[in-house]
Amino acid sequence: MRWLLPGGFAAGYVGDWMALAGLLLVYPVVEEVLFRGVIQGELLRRPFFACSLAGISAANVTTSGLFVLLHLFHQPLGWALAVAIPSLVLGYFRERYQGVWMPIFLHVLFNGTYLVAGI
Q: Residues 6-58: pLDDT tens digits?
A: 666 677 777 889 999 999 999 999 999 999 999 999 999 999 999 999 999 99
- Residue 9: what pLDDT? 67
pTM of the model: 0.88
Q: Report, as an integer, the average pLDDT of 72-99.
A: 94
User: 10 Å Cβ neighbour count for 83?
Assistant: 19
Q: Looking at residue 53, what DSSP letter applies? A: E
- Residue 95: what pLDDT? 98
Question: CA-CA distances (angstroms) from residue 88 to 4, 16, 26, 44, 101?
Answer: 20, 30, 20, 14, 15
- Residue 76: what pLDDT? 85
**Where in the chain are the domains?**
35-117
- Residue 52: what pLDDT? 95
